[in-house]
Amino acid sequence: MRFQVLLTLAALSLAAAQEIPRPEYPQPQFQRADWLNLNGNWEFEFDDANKGLDQDWAAGATKFSRKITVPFCFESRRSGIGDTSFHPWVWYRRSISVPENWKGRRVLLHFGAVDYRATVWVNGRLAGRHEGGNTPFQFDITPLLKAGSNALTVRAEDPPTDRYIPRGKQYWEPKSRSIFYTRTSGIWQTVWLEAAGDSYLRGVRITPGMDGNVRFDARLARGSTDLEFHAAVSAGGKTVATASGPGGAERAAISAVVADPKLWSLENPQLYDVTFELRRGGAVLDKVTSYFGFRSVGIANGRVTLNGRPTYLKMILDQGYWPETILTPPSDEALQFDIRIAKDMGFNGARKHQKLEDPRFLYWADKMGFLVSSEMANAWLFDDAYAERFTREWMETVDRDYNHPSIVIWVPINESWGTPDLADRRQQNHLKALYTLTHSLDATRLVIDNEGWEHTNMTDLFALHDYTRTGELLYERYKELGRPNAPVPNNHRAALAPGYAYNGSPFLLSEFGGIAFIPAGHQVPEESWGYAGVEKSADAALERLAGLYRAIARIPAFAGICYTQLTDVEQEVNGLFTYDRKPKFDVRRIKEINDNISGNQ
């Protein structure tokens, strides 16, 4: 009987998980207590003829013929649809009911991400619009709600062949090929409701100093001059600092001092909790919890420093794709797993490649002591409209993730994507403008202007991509790197953009390896490939890997590395793990190879 009960409980648990996927709070950096997860079953319809607006589908009279599981995109199997063909316009609908205890409060509707343009209605009335497939947005839907059930409708537009929009590795042709993969269209991150006060916090930027000073810059909605902004910092459940100050119509700023601050580091990722309150006359209107870490990032003597200490970057390229869910992480545990296996193999960070990753990945990186190079999903081609939309979304990206101590590098552009002709002065200026813009938004981190090649004189790290097959060849190419008057080697593309010279920044070998190996019995697509061919045995692949590491250890100019890559992705089979997260090699052996580089060359 007990066994049957356990089976029943397990079945109920599985059913609940299937009903509401990704049930955890989606943004731990800015969390309210009263919230409602809207993931799960929604009505859904393709609108290939783009007639939904003319026929006023938002009004709710038109019945949608399909169901979809949010937050998984319709291209994914986990969505329940699994259609990877082109569908530029799609519609979603579900009913929502606001809990009784939210009466008299503002109701906020949040979307983690919708690719690429979203229009949202509540009860047939427009709630708002958003453009940008990677960044979150919210609407105050209080005036649109009625008692009981309410109709929430979303229209998503994602032009599948438009190469002027930031799309990352999502391919603009029908079938995946080479380094490009299946598209992610429409809703692909959690949707949720939450209750706030009549005046409420839109966001708080946290800037800790190494001396224990920490500044809180708040953005307010429906603010007024009779408000008070309050912060209470705690560690281990004990309050260690508080601060209060006047609010305003749109902003408030206060500072606190934490005595003897414990620093966030790889070895001890110390985090401080903070509770923010917006008050009026002693009454709490809005309450949000967050966290932060004291840490500094810099450059000294050709090395990256963390808290003033030289830190050799040992990163892994992580593209953040999964077989059943594509760009959407299938679970919170899946995010933790990817960080854990990277650390087990001796890596101290990840370069999130061509993807603004789920905020909970960054949360776990913060918690587990794991460095992140955060890279925007790029467009492919340049024009005026691209420059405007990319700049706006990049600013939203920096704003979303500013508070995460794990992020140490910002990367707006990779391999000249979006700026394919850097002989063009406009494209050069765009590249440099992104560098200076990023530093104007965030003075606490390093910025790479153009990951991999064609650098200008504005970059904090001189990142190079090189898939030279053997360690001997790699050493011959870079043995003079960093010496006076020695040129920076070119690989595939020039290391420097036309008209620019090396600016003295530390060198980072931020893509290398890509050693492909297919374990016996593992099924891969026929068009599978790897850099410089596929090795026939695990031993041969590991020996080639060890040879590359031995060469790198003899090149003192490198301040860090990033190995390609953590897992296979669709037809690209150069991962250390398979696409379904099975190890190809002995993890301990990978760690031994990684440990051969000390960073003290």
3-state DSSP of 473-528: HHHHHHCCCCCCCCCCCCECECCECCCCCCCCCCEEEEEEECCEECCCCCCCCCCC
User: In whole angstroms, what is the distance from residue 212 CA to residue 93 CA?
Assistant: 48
The two structure tokens encoding residue 44? 């859904």
pLDDT at 10 over 70: no
357: which residues sit within 8 A by CB, 6+ positions away? 320, 374
CA terminus-to-terminus distance, the chain: 64
Last residue of one domain, picked from the residues 266, 292, 318: 292
Q: What is the mean pLDDT of residues 501-508?
A: 97
Read off the DSSP letter of residue 75.
T
> Which amino acid is present at 191?
V
Strands of the 213-221 sheet, one edge to the other = 200-208, 213-221, 251-257
Domain count along the chain: 3
- pLDDT of amino acid 533: 80
Is the same domain home to 285 and 311?
A: no
487: which residues sit within 8 A by CB, 6+ positions away? none
What's the pLDDT tens digit per position in 57-70? 999 999 999 999 99
pLDDT at 15 over 50: no
Strands of the 462-465 sheet, one edge to the other = 446-447, 407-411, 371-375, 349-352, 313-318, 558-564, 507-513, 462-465
CA atoms within 13 A on the CB side of 19: 6
Q: What is the model's pTM?
A: 0.95
Task: Examine residue 205 and state whether it is found in any structural domain, yes or no.
Answer: no
Read off the DSSP letter of residue 15.
H
Is the same domain home to 125 and 246?
A: no
- pLDDT of amino acid 475: 97
Task: Examine residue 5 and state whether it is found in any structural domain, yes or no.
Answer: no
Instruction: Indicate the pairing of strand 117-122 with strand 213-221.
Output: unpaired
Contact 183, 174 (CB under 8 A): no
Q: What is the CATH number of the domain that holds 28?
A: 2.60.120.260
- pLDDT of amino acid 431: 97
Instruction: Indicate the pairing of strand 407-411 with strand 446-447.
Output: parallel
- Which residues lie across from 465 on neighbouring strands? 511
**Boundaries of domain holding 283:** 211-292
What's the pLDDT tens digit per position in 586-600? 999 999 999 988 765
Confidence of residue 16 (pLDDT cuts 50, 70, 90): very low
399: which residues sit within 8 A by CB, 6+ positions away? 203, 205, 441
Is the same domain home to 288 and 301?
A: no
If residue 593 lies in a helix (H) or strand (E), which one and from where to where?
A: helix 587-595
Contact 217, 207 (CB under 8 A): yes
Instruction: Indicate the pairing of strand 313-318 with strand 349-352.
Output: parallel
Is the same domain home to 458 and 371?
A: yes
The two structure tokens encoding residue 23? 């049930």
Query: Which percentage of the chain shows pLDDT scores above 90?
Result: 94
Confidence of residue 41 (pLDDT cuts 50, 70, 90): very high
Residue among 214, 217, 220 at smallest CA distance from 285: 220
- pLDDT of amino acid 460: 98
The two structure tokens encoding residue 127? 């709630």
What's the pLDDT tens digit per position in 489-498? 998 899 999 9
Q: What is the CATH number of the domain that holds 216?
A: 2.60.40.10
pLDDT at 144 over 70: yes
Contact 29, 10 (CB under 8 A): no
Last residue of one domain, picked from the residues 292, 314, 331: 292
Contact 251, 217 (CB under 8 A): yes
Task: Examine residue 408 and state whether it is found in any structural domain, yes or no.
Answer: yes
The two structure tokens encoding residue 462? 């001189």
If residue 277 lies in a helix (H) or strand (E), which one and from where to where?
A: strand 272-280
Task: Examine residue 13 and state whether it is found in any structural domain, yes or no.
Answer: no
Is the same domain home to 118 and 92?
A: yes
User: In whole angstroms, what is the distance from residue 488 CA to residue 479 CA?
Assistant: 11
How far, CA to CA in Å, does 85 sit from each of 177, 305, 498?
A: 14, 46, 40
How far, CA to CA in Å, does 591 sit from each of 79, 189, 313, 318?
A: 36, 33, 14, 17
Contact 488, 462 (CB under 8 A): yes
Place of tokens 């809703």: 187
Is the same domain home to 78 and 218?
A: no
Is the same domain home to 244 and 288?
A: yes
Summary mean pLDDT of the chain: 95
Confidence of residue 209 (pLDDT cuts 50, 70, 90): very high
Burial of 150 (0-12, 13-18, 19+ CB in 10 A): middle
What's the pLDDT tens digit per position in 373-411? 999 999 999 999 999 999 999 999 999 999 999 999 999
212-221 per-residue burial string, b: 16 or more CB within 10 A, e: under 16: bebebbbebb
Q: How many CB atoms lie within 10 A of CB 4?
A: 8
Q: What is the mean pLDDT of residues 175-200?
A: 97
User: In whole angstroms, what is the distance from residue 278 CA to residue 283 CA?
Assistant: 8
> Which amino acid is present at 181?
Y
Confidence of residue 2 (pLDDT cuts 50, 70, 90): very low
- pLDDT of amino acid 598: 72
Q: What is the CATH number of the domain that holds 468?
A: 3.20.20.80
Last residue of one domain, picked from the residues 254, 274, 292: 292
- Which residues lie across from 528 on neighbouring strands? none
> Which amino acid is present at 81?
I
How far, CA to CA in Å, does 162 sit from each of 119, 403, 414, 430?
A: 19, 32, 18, 20
- pLDDT of amino acid 492: 83
Residue among 115, 155, 165, 164 at smallest CA distance from 135: 115
Query: Which percentage of the chain shows pLDDT scores above 70?
Result: 97
User: In whole angstroms, what is the distance from residue 238 CA to residue 293 CA?
Assistant: 16
- pLDDT of amino acid 9: 34
Is the same domain home to 369 and 504?
A: yes
Is the same domain home to 272 and 310?
A: no
The two structure tokens encoding residue 380? 């492919």
